[in-house]
Structure 1
């Protein structure tokens, strides 16, 4: 069965799962359950990225997703000599792209969702990249990776899931060589601002995201707390930049202008997305920040 047929024929058994996940306030799935449910549904046309994209120069969701992937590569200063560890790699699109455009010496990936791992491994093999890209089932907080063995650790839009993110920072420090770099694209709560209505909307938007996408309470802190935790672990040259204005609003505007992009989503998820798109971006994402981070292990 091809990737496209997997995406276009969601199992009937997922209907109840989607109903519970989307509309039951007491339903909270773990991370593999969420991504098993979402399957290969995405708003892209030519790839299976699940990231929100980086939109300054993008014409569609595929270009925006690839732009975010390459922004990660730029922040990491990804080069041909690098041994890379990629955590939370989804269906492997980013690792294939990095391998093709930046040619790092080797990429090892860890992902907890077995269904994604199987598809990603097959796609890597189809590209003939098995000797350079090794995608495995594994945890970002208990990495089966030797101490001081990698040059770059990359976490693209996934570290908010980890139990906990601070444990991931500790593991990233352990596996990085001296001088190695950790780079993340991550989602955080925004600091509360404005009157009580604004603050309530910010809290509600964050709580909806956190509940539906399995963000543990240990990971609920803002930019200042993020930097403090990296420094506490021993990282130096910590750089954090919010890119939320280049992510949420342009994605929202694109989907409103191109509703056909929702066709790959499960029908229930598609309906939920259409309801959200009736609102403006400022009403949907007020409590969500989106950051890029780079931090170096000294040595």
Structure 2
């Protein structure tokens, strides 16, 4: 993502040493993603009543990011065919808002979540316990590309705006196929580039450097390649729906309003100001360079 500035700041907002920056650049993609998400404090999120970490689906009636994020979770559940009695694997669950929402609205039998960021897992487990859902939601520190499960034990595997981080998305497809039962469905809300080659401006090159910090190069490919890799894994009935118009531009409009309102109230927490500003710059890059898609595929 276009977030190069985050490399210059530690959790406390101080400058990272050059040696630390170099170590992070040379570390594994999984470690970089874990570190990246550990920087974000929940109180700095642009949501108001939830801890969703996604861009949202801005359907009519969505006046804030919380509603839009919940609407995106619903769209992903629809794409997966999530229904009562299902056993669901959520790969990259953030703070588990969508899992609690699905447990309460879809009446699924069980949701198992995987996340490589211990800080998020710890916070999400506490939230699940507070909602009285610990008997139905099982959250674990584990990788989506090396799942600690037997073959064929899930009805649905979902990834809500997380699969582009996995090292690699192809490995995730293979693991999802393995743990799904025959007839089970994989569904993702994901980001793909509009183009992967051609001349780049200086700004685009800077954004590419920032993106590669948290998105493995093997994952940055066209939607055609995305479908091809699903089919090669063994999936059938692959569908890919573009929802870009319901994601980026309405989110950017909301974020700009939110940013202006925050600044109009007087002194602003610098960390919160920084997070919002980076979100806005990133969204501007998404609009120019990427397509947001809802994908589903079935295991025969």
| TM-score interval, normalised by the smaller of the two chains | 0.7 to 0.9
The answer to whether the Cα contact below 8 Å between 1:55 and 1:247 also exists between their aligned partners in 2 is yes
Deviation by residue 1:210-241 (Cα, 9 ceiling, x = unmatched):
135x1011111010110000000010000011
Give the Cα–Cα distance (whole angstroms) in 1 for the partners of residues 38 and 269 of structure 2.
Answer: 12
The answer to whether the Cα contact below 8 Å between 1:91 and 1:119 also exists between their aligned partners in 2 is yes
Does residue 69 of the first structure (1) align with residue 79 of the second (2)? no
2:45 alignment counterpart? 42
Flag structure 1 segments of 5+ consecutive residues without an equivalent: 1-11
The answer to whether the Cα contact below 8 Å between 1:205 and 1:284 also exists between their aligned partners in 2 is no
Does residue 242 of the first structure (1) align with residue 242 of the second (2)? yes
2:208 alignment counterpart? 207
Which residues of 2 match residues 96-135 of structure 1 at below 5 A?
Answer: 96-135=100-139
The alpha-carbon deviation at position 202 of structure 1 amounts to: 8.7
The answer to whether the Cα contact below 8 Å between 1:205 and 1:285 also exists between their aligned partners in 2 is no
Q: Which runs of 4+ in 1 moved over 6 A?
A: 24-27
Give the Cα–Cα distance (whole angstroms) in 2 for the partners of residues 185 and 47 of structure 1.
Answer: 19
The answer to whether the Cα contact below 8 Å between 2:24 and 2:32 also exists between their aligned partners in 1 is no
Give the Cα–Cα distance (whole angstroms) in 2 for the partners of residues 81 and 208 of structure 1.
Answer: 44
1:140 alignment counterpart? 144
Report the aligned-residue RMSD: 3.0
The answer to whether the Cα contact below 8 Å between 2:58 and 2:247 also exists between their aligned partners in 1 is yes
Give the Cα–Cα distance (whole angstroms) in 2 for the partners of residues 205 and 178 of structure 1.
Answer: 44
The alpha-carbon deviation at position 266 of structure 1 amounts to: 6.9
Deviation by residue 1:165-215 (Cα, 9 ceiling, x = unmatched):
00000000000000000000111111269x96xx53894475155135x10
1:5 alignment counterpart? none
SS of aligned partner of 2:89: strand
Flag structure 2 segments of 5+ consecutive residues without an equivalent: 1-9, 26-30
Aligned residue-pair number: 279
Q: Which residue among 285, 288, 294 is the counterpart of 2:296?
A: 294
Residues 1:184 and 1:206: Cα distance change in structure 2 (over 3 Å): farther
TM-score normalised per structure 2:
0.83
TM-score normalised per structure 1:
0.84
Give the Cα–Cα distance (whole angstroms) in 1 for the partners of residues 205 and 275 of structure 2.
Answer: 16
The answer to whether the Cα contact below 8 Å between 1:255 and 1:261 also exists between their aligned partners in 2 is no
1:16 alignment counterpart? 14
1:88 alignment counterpart? 92
Give the Cα–Cα distance (whole angstroms) in 1 for the partners of residues 269 and 241 of structure 2.
Answer: 33
Does residue 180 of the first structure (1) align with residue 184 of the second (2)? yes
SS of aligned partner of 2:192: strand
